[in-house]
Amino acid sequence: MRDGVPQTIFRKDYRAPDFSVEQIDLYFDIRAGYTTVRATLDMVRAVPGHAPLVLDGVELVLESVAIDGVSLAESDYSVTPETLVISKVPDRFKLETQVRIAPETNTSLEGLYRSQSSYSTQCEAEGFRKITYYPDRPDVLALFNVTIEADREACPVLLSNGNLIDSGVLDNRRHRAVWQDPWPKPSYLFALVAGDLACVEDTFVTRSGKPVALRVYVEEKDRDFCAHAIESLKRSMRWDEEVYGLEYDLELFNIVAVDDFNMGAMENKSLNIFNTSCVLASPDITTDAGYQRIESIVAHEYFHNFSGNRVTCRDWFQLSLKEGFTVFRDAEFTSDMHSRGVKRVEDVAFLRAHQFAEDAGPLAHPVRPDSFIEISNFYTTTVYEKGAEVVRMLHTLLGAEVFQRGATHYFETYDGQAVTCDDFVDAMEVASGRDLSQFRRWYSQPGTPLLTVTGDYDGDSSRYRLTVEQSNPAVGVASEVGPLHMPLALGLVVDGAPMTMPSGATTAVVELTEPRQTFVFDGVESEPVPALLRGFSAPVRVSPEPDIDQLRVLMAADDDPFVRWDAAQSYAAQLMEATVADDESESAFLDAYGQVMASDLDPAMKAQTLILPSEDYLADRAAQRGLVDVHSIHERRERLKQMIARSFAEEWSEWFARYAVTAAYEPSAEQIGHRALRHLAADYLCYTDAIDLEFAEHLYAHADNLTDRLAAARCLINHGSDLQRERMVERFYEDWKQQALVVNAWLSLQATRPHDDAVETVAQLRNHPAFDWRNPNKLRSLVGAMAGRNAIAFHRADGAGYTLLTDTVIAIQKANPQMAAGMLSPLTRFRRYAHGVDLMRGQLERVAAIDDLSRDVFEVVQRTLD
Ligand code: 0A1
Ligand code: ZN
């Protein structure tokens, strides 16, 4: 580290701000090469005393500073690399500053920067300090007035938050727009966009009859790709009215698409900024999964208007207050719009493959972290997805109606305030009249809890006793915070059917609060198979898993889609993990697999159930038993695929024909389900001997959509001859080189080919004209895809995969610290792997030795190696 060891910030040190800002008037003068920012802050001392004024500011060139109209001399203030300090200020005053910034050379994509031909901002979490001097913390809420001046031709569109209250033409081909946001907000929700963008417009009428203009701004060439985002936005707005009673609070809602963006999207008040990959859609550039992802991200950002913007976070340790809750809200939205079962299964698969691994590794942290060096490193699956699971558990414990009352109470009580996770739980306590103090432990306890279960059936008394013990291996058996409070949505399958509980339903929600607890069920006519976590009612692991006989019962007879899917996953996983292959178990598995194929499950759910557990999930399971051997996992999975392929060879051919979609492409549930089954069949056909992959050539040639094209290309690239692969790679690029997002998919296709030499391919592609080191989507699609989604290449025996990732991280870490730190993530799991522990650690040490390491990367490396 160049400037000494970066400072750790602790949650326990939180202090309310010394000053509040009632209003900020911002003036931007955008010129080629530099921008001048004038800020006038109406400031009030909030805590009596004589504390100096300390403002955050990074990479700003200070040109002037004045208080109440009087310029300050240099001796009146001091400037450090990250602050402006004025030691003597009155209790109420106007502070005026003028700074110069350089968006054109801002490669960090935080603050104001240039992407393609536009200027845009990213201020969460601490980007506003790269725009002007300000108390850049979420508990300082102010009214923002923003004036933007720029060249009329280069930047015909000038946007900021709130309402446009004035605009006009100026001399020298320049023009101006004045925006006023009537809602007080923290600086992280500020946004500005200036550029030459096309606008696609629509209207939404709120339930009380108020029209809202909806505008999506994109590059002219992308004008035709906005319809899906607009429809998704309208559905989200309606859903929030219907489910949460929340009606949009301005007359305008803008979405802007930018190509260079570190994350998916950002919920700036009334001016959401999106990564192009999360908003632009058409059958040729978007997959089925992409359509669904766009809908859920549009919804997520819209829902933040209340969970995040109207009620915001007191400090960044409370990030899950807005993120966990908003992920829960967007998941419920998707479940209501589409299939609840499929959505739950997808979310649990993601949580297990990614969050469980994070929670078991060196970067584990509570949903509400206790300390950080760089907050950008905490936009994690723990804060987002586990945070959402915590909210979901409240929903399960309290029931939908009480939860909804709690949410309404939360939005009403804390409107316009910056609050904490505890305040959220308080609202739920008020609505339910329940004591949730033990439940709060979820916010401070890292690690995935383990439930150890034993069942005891007594036929004479028809009584079944289920004993559940909870522990948390990551933090030791005697966890610091004590046992957690969690809902178990239990069912019992008796004689091939779910038993009706005394409540009349087949599920009983029981509450686990003790380290060890026994639940008793009477009137159980024969030995039951317990379904422990219907709907995955708590984010835990369960041991022991049901045995194969029990899994077969659950797969066939339980009435919960998650339990059926989970049983199928477990069954396949146990078979792949068996130390010796045994014909009898294999044929029993194939028999069960065939039954699912022949079942009347809806197509999307059937596809989910038939897709074997991912290598990531299998790796997480392996890590519970010892070290992970990714090559053995891959080989075992491939072997099982081969078996399934051969056993059902005829069915796969038949399915490939049967599930061909003849109607024009639309991302409807029916078509998506059929394509999923067809592509599953195509994948299995690649493992049968008799085929020369002609079906894949045909699929590509006749496709009218990206989902089919990628499925076909994957068959040819992963299973074809060298010639077939090379031809496909070339043809795909020639066909789609004009569409950046499709080119990204093309990069990923090559980066995820499960073969050693994907490392060399990726290394070479970094020099391809389609690659751009400064663009996060390209980095993620190429190097990120190899490291995160190609275990065979990444964990190559000679360590070339690790070296390639590390070289990339080192190359970008100064220019874009956030991206670099995020990309390091696969290396942080190094303790899990039998293969290459030393090599992986060696690469982390190589990064650690760099002397001008960014704060972001420093923190990740330090916490990992500690
Ligand atoms: N709040 C956004 C995520 C986000 C976070 C940080 C960003 O820049 C570093 C950008 C976006 C969300 O949850 O969608
Ligand atoms: Zn969010």
pLDDT in tens, 292-301: 999 999 999 9
At residue 390, what are phi and psi to the nearest 5 degrees?
Answer: -65, -45
Six-digit token string for 569: 């996953």
Looking at residue 750, its pLDDT comes to: 98
User: What are the C-alpha distances in Å from 387 to residues 293, 326, 414?
Assistant: 19, 9, 20
Residue for token digits 């009620």?
311
Q: What is the mean pLDDT of residues 133-147?
A: 99
What's the average model confidence in pLDDT over 774-780? 98
Quote the mean pLDDT of the chain: 97
- Are 11 and 371 in contact by the 8 Å Cβ rule? The answer is yes
Lowest-confidence region among 65-74, 474-483, 667-676, 833-842: 474-483
The angle at the Cα of 114, spanning 178 to 63, to the nearest 5 degrees, equals 65
Q: Pick the atom of ligand 1 nearest to 122's CA.
A: 8
User: What's the Rg (C-alpha) of the chain?
Assistant: 28
Cα 614 to chain centroid, rounded: 18
- Per-residue pLDDT tens over the stretch 809-858: 999 999 999 999 999 999 999 999 987 889 999 999 999 999 999 999 99
Ligand 1 mutation target, pool 106, 120, 261, 263, most atoms within 8 A of CB: 263
- d(C-alpha 126, C-alpha 377), whole Å: 12
What DSSP element (H or E) covers 300? helix 288-303
Could you give the angle at which helices 706-719 and 740-751 cross, rounded to 10 degrees? 30
Q: pLDDT value at position 835?
A: 73
Q: Cβ–Cβ contacts within 10 Å for residue 2, how many?
A: 8
Q: Of 400, 64, 19, which is closest to residue 244 (Cα–Cα)?
A: 400
Indicate left, alpha or beta for 536 from its phi (over 0: left) and psi (-120 to 50: alpha): left
pLDDT at 690: 59
CA distance 567 to 560: 11
Mean pLDDT of 37-61: 98
Cross-strand bridge partners of residue 541: 450
pLDDT at residue 668 tops 90: yes
Res. 224: pLDDT tops 60: yes
From ligand 1's centre to the CA of 194, what distance in Å?
20
- Ligand 1 center to residue 629 CA distance, Å? 34
The C-alpha atoms of residue 847 and residue 808 are separated, in whole angstroms, by 11
Q: Can you tell me which atom of ligand 1 is nearest the CA of 379? A: 5
The residue whose CB lies within 8 Å of the most ligand 1 atoms, and thus the one to mutate among 124, 255, 301, is 124
Distance set, CA 733 to CA 722, 741, 772 (Å)? 17, 12, 16
Ligand nearest to the CA of 128: 1
Q: What is the pLDDT confidence band of residue 591, given thresholds at 50, 70 and 90?
A: very high
| Percent of the chain scoring above 70 in pLDDT | 99
User: So what's the pLDDT on residue 837?
Assistant: 85
- Residue 578 pLDDT greater than 50, yes or no: yes
pLDDT at 298: 99
Structure tokens at 691: 């085929």
Cβ within 8 Å of residue 132, ≥6 positions away: 26, 37, 39, 57, 60, 97, 99
pLDDT tens for residues 727-744?
Answer: 999 999 999 999 999 999
Note the pLDDT of residue 2: 45
Give residue ranges with CB within 6 A of ligand 1: 122, 124, 262-267, 300-301, 323, 376, 379, 818
- pLDDT bin (cut points 50, 70, 90) of residue 341 is very high
DSSP SS3 for 585: helix
Atom 13 of ligand 1: nearest residue by CA position? 323
Q: What percent of the chain has pLDDT over 90?
A: 97
* 689 confidence band (pLDDT: 50, 70, 90): confident
If one counts every other C-beta atom within 10 angstroms of the C-beta of residue 671, the result is 19
Which residues fall within 8 angstroms of residue 829, CB to CB, at 6 or more apart?
Answer: 357, 361
The pLDDT assigned to 3 comes to 54
**Of all helices (H) and strands (E), which one includes residue 444?**
helix 441-444
User: Which ligand has its closest atom nearest to the C-alpha of 304?
Assistant: 2
Residue 501 has pLDDT above 90, yes or no: yes
Q: What separation in Å is there between the alpha carbon of 665 and the centre of ligand 1?
A: 32
Q: Is residue 788 very low, low, confident or very high in pLDDT (cuts 50, 70, 90)?
A: very high
Which ligand lies nearest the alpha carbon of 321?
2
**What pLDDT sits at residue 770?**
98
For 420, how many CA atoms within 13 A lie in the half-sphere containing its CB? Answer: 13
Give the pLDDT mean for 130-135.
99
Span 698-712, average pLDDT: 98
Distance 449 CA to ligand 2 centre (A): 25
Catalytic residue among 96, 124, 267, 301: 301
How far does the centroid of ligand 2 lie from the alpha carbon of residue 267, in Å? Answer: 7
pLDDT of residue 479: 58
Determine whether 301 is an active site residue: yes
Query: Closest by alpha carbon to 77, among 43, 54, 100, 45?
Result: 54
Neighbours of 798 (CB within 10 A): 11
Return the residue whose CA atom lies nearest to atom 4 of ligand 1: 266
Give bridge partners of residue 121 from the DSSP assignment. 112
